[in-house]
A and B are shown apart, each in its own frame.
Chain A
């Protein structure tokens, strides 16, 4: 299966390019280019030598993205290869000067029987130029758009996701997100990962089912306006959906109060990728 994802439209000069191909029967980085503000690091060995996987770390000079930055990374994973792409540290986006937008783009092409794992650390948006995360500043940015697109052969759209968080007159982002300070999405795609998909679907269902209960009827009255005592909202809420022909993919969307709970979730559910990648993602 081959696929490509990312932004369409005018092709600007890439900030980074990486290609992974089989050399001597092993996945090897055959091309690795990056320019400021992006840096690509390819360690010699990650995990067990029995595993055939290359890891590509990306990091931004200055540890963050500032206004007007456009970082684009293009990755090609050849037939039969395995690659993982990750950020070395949390991507920080600083308050925009002159209302300029910053952009991060990843475009990938994946060959037959190939595997690409994109394992980013969270994007943290700061409302102040200093980057300090003071109380009351959660979700205090003007606009954040995240787009993930996956295409099959001949540009057939398989998965088109776009989330836009924008301060609105009807309600702010913070009001919309309530006590959930973190959102995340996991996409697991391809026949090679069927067992991972099945496991994630079962476990998310088990985990979430216990949070849904028909509220006890209040003796014929409609809802009370005071908050009721009793069970509170789940600290982590997730839903899992299959998508694509023959349910070729699974997507999990998560909202949580703390980043740590999301890391735990990811570590747990992606542990089955260890044989493919050599290490547990987010381990």
Chain B
């Protein structure tokens, strides 16, 4: 006969259930959850998941929907004509994001203090030599910081930092370091933070593809899942690197992105 155990809330001792209690246990489970390998996840971890999901939800008003990562320009110049082109283009955007921007997310999440963030912001300002990408990064980063400072009131440094640097014009508020900083301050590990950055990048390009009428919403979801393993490969390949190693690996994508300003008719900012 096996006995079902539960933890007594007041003491840490395991106490065997009676048969009536066993019934109730299944309905009345606000005890700590036991995962498969018996590692308990704490209420703090659970709460963190709500913050994490909110941060990655496209409904967060950071203006990500205004940017296509150069997809609009690629379509108009016939670099993306069919579904295979689209898939290939998204993969290259992910590769470039990994090689150029993940180091910034990594460093900001590992050292989530204002001084380190500011250095990263200045470095990225000099590194984003493509004006279109640079402005898109600053616009998204600023919006993200404004939103995060309002939402995560338990982290007053976000608002303080914003107030300090907004007026002076010394910072550009680039997206990758801000994203990494917020992840770090929320307690996410750097691996999750980097993976999350790749996720939102993919999410936004796929979304842009549907709005450009390149693919339907269902097709887009199918594509996103198909590419997920490639995105994971790239995350593993480019994660945990110092910013000195940040490089571009898809020069053609960069050039096409830089052409966004030459589009006569456009839906997106970049």
Contacts and interface: CB of A to CB of B under 8 A. Distances in A.
Interface of A: 145, 147, 157-166, 168-171, 175-178, 180, 183, 205, 208-209, 211-215, 217, 222-228, 231-234, 237-243, 251, 253-255
Interface in B238-270: 246-252, 254-259, 261-265
B234 A162 contact: no
Contact of A176 (B127, B252, B256): B252
B134 to A, nearest CB: 8
B215 A222 contact: yes
A244 to B, nearest CB: 8
B76 interface: yes
B230 interface: yes
Interface of B: 73, 75-79, 81-84, 86, 88, 91-92, 95, 99, 122-123, 126-127, 129-132, 134, 213-216, 219, 230, 233-234, 246-252, 254-259, 261-265
A171 B84 CA distance: 13
Nearest to B92: A176
B76 A241 contact: no
Contacts of A212: 73, 76-77, 259, 262-264
A255 B248 CA distance: 14
A215 B214 CA distance: 11
B262 A223 contact: no
Nearest to A162: B247
A227 B79 CA distance: 11
A168 B238 CA distance: 12
Among the interface residues B123, B132, B254, B262, which one has the most CB atoms of the partner chain A within 10 A?
A: B262
Contacts of A238: 255
A240 B258 contact: yes
A223 B259 contact: no
Contacts of B129: 159-161, 241, 243, 251
A253 B92 CA distance: 18
What 3 A-B pairs are tightest by C-beta distance, nearest first?
Answer: A239-B258, A241-B131, A164-B247
Contacts of A165: 249, 251
Contact of A233 (B78, B88, B91, B249): B78
Nearest to A150: B126
A255 B258 contact: no
Given A171-B88, A223-B86, A160 B214 contact: no
Nearest to A204: B262
Contacts of A145: 247
A177 B213 contact: no
Nearest to A164: B247
A180 B79 CA distance: 12
A275 B129 CA distance: 28
Secondary structure of the B contact surface, majority rule: helix
Nearest to A149: B126
Contacts of B130: 239, 241, 253
A214 B263 CA distance: 9
B81 A164 contact: no
A96 B59 CA distance: 51
Among the interface residues B75, B247, B251, which one has the most CB atoms of the partner chain A within 10 A?
A: B251
B123 A163 contact: no
Contacts of B84: 225
B54 to A, nearest CB: 31
Contacts of B246: 162
A237 B252 CA distance: 9
Contact of B255 (A158, A226, A255): A255
B81 A227 contact: yes
B214 A213 contact: no
Contact of A166 (B79, B132, B249): B249
Given A163-B247, A212-B264, A255 B82 contact: no
B216 A209 contact: no
A254 B262 CA distance: 15
B241 to A, nearest CB: 12
A61 B262 CA distance: 44
A166 to B, nearest CB: 7
30 contacts: A145-B247, A147-B247, A157-B122, A159-B129, A160-B123, A160-B129, A161-B248, A164-B99, A165-B249, A170-B233, A170-B234, A171-B92, A175-B88, A205-B262, A217-B213, A222-B213, A222-B214, A222-B215, A222-B216, A222-B219, A227-B81, A232-B78, A237-B259, A239-B257, A239-B259, A241-B134, A241-B258, A243-B131, A253-B255, A253-B258
